Structure 1
């Protein structure tokens, strides 16, 4: 969920930015407050992110307030698949606008993400600033520094990735079992399979072993057992 702050001192208490009077406002569906039908003035958009609502945004807000026309606050983890506020701000940027963050990691998941986004903004004629690093990609010096910074960050990420792969390979050689431990051991899987084979409903057997039906079915396949099973028919006895 987004919190948008208007940084105009005369409207300091408002959460919705006020567009110039010459530009009519039209409501749109979704979480946007208002979107103007035309944009004649370049705007400076500040993006603030914290992982949870329990975390304070004061440090970022105070640093960006004087530099931006509007602040967009998002409460989401850096590694989240979806960042609706960030994505909405990216879509709303127009040529001549400026996208501003306090720290590089507040807006990007990785250096690759940062490089791709910076390149996209540059192609759209949108400026990009990182206040803590005094980086302004509108200048040749700022663009060079940002490129070098992103390259070093990417190098560090690749080194960490390589060390992680080497560590996992060494653990496998030692016989360590990697990944999440299985819910059922081999004996339990076989017992559950025999119960299902004898005619017991799969859901009932899964409940008896304290696992979901999908977990039980996956365990059957992991142990090379045929599923769905061919249930054994009960023999009728005649006197």
Structure 2
């Protein structure tokens, strides 16, 4: 679904183009370590200086490019539509999107609402040549992502067929894992289990004080939870 045409804020003719530099890394490990983020910032700053952009950098850390539904990117696109910025700049196309359909819609949205997309690995996508190149690269990126997904599923299926236990082993005590499994199998929700463990001061696998439903889900999918169920 494409965004409706917006009324853009006027920019003084002699003012520099306002650019939103977008950075993204795809995994929690990269987000925690900063791997790749500083390199992206350096590239964005250099390109903005070369083109005379007034740059502001925003970041989505630990999020994939499978969809455009990312907080920093969503806010940046809304601001571009409103005319609060003129250019979206990213180090590479795959930092913005790996979906041909999503990226095509993004190009259409930019053209309709009067802003530009500049990708350092492709150039200015507002030109016909830039748009064609961007669409070709986006198509290849989507194809690669689907191949990786297919190979991963096939690999997991082969391991299951060979009797390999899957899932990350828990580092929690057996008693805590058993309690979580028993509570969940007895009908307790993830939210309820997390709240009870937090209230009782039971530490998480990493020694944290607060449990989340997502944390409980990871325990239930782990090897120790499978062992508890098998022994029941």
Tell me how far 1:98 sits from its aligned partner: 3.3
Does structure 1 residue 67 correspond to structure 2 residue 41? Answer: no
Q: Name which one, 1 or 2, has greater alpha-carbon Rg.
A: 1
Q: Deviations over 1:147-185 (max 9, x none)?
A: 111111111111111101100110110111222335566
Partner of 2:92: 103
* Residues 65-114 of structure 1, C-alpha deviations (whole Å, 9 max, x = no match): 23253212134425177443x333211214793333332234x2533554
| Candidates 49, 55, 72, aligned match of 2:38 | 55
- SS of the equivalent of 1:66 reads helix
Give TM-score scaled by structure 2 length: 0.55
Which residue number in structure 2 is paired with residue 29 of structure 1? none
**Equivalent-residue separation in structure 2 for 1:40 and 1:189 (angstroms):** 62
- The two structures have a TM-score, normalised by structure 1, of 0.53
For 2:160, what is the secondary structure of its paired residue?
A: helix
**Structure 2: how far apart are the matches of 1:59 and 1:140?**
24
2:151 to 163, 183, 187: 163
The answer to which structure has the higher helix fraction is 2
- 1:177-232, Cα deviation, whole Å (9 max, x unpaired): 2223355669x839x97xxxxxxxx969xx799777x85xx76xx849xxxxxxxx
Query: May I ask how many residue pairs the two structures share in their alignment?
Result: 171
Unaligned stretches of 5+ residues in structure 2:
1-7, 25-30, 183-192, 205-210
Q: Which residue does the alignment assign to 2:185? A: none
- Deviating runs (4+, > 4 A) in structure 1? 182-186, 207-212
Structure 1 Cα separation of the partners of residues 127 and 70 of structure 2: 31
Unmatched runs of 5 consecutive residues or more in structure 1: 1-36, 194-201, 225-239
Q: Select the residue among 124, 127, 131 that pairs with 2:116.
A: 127
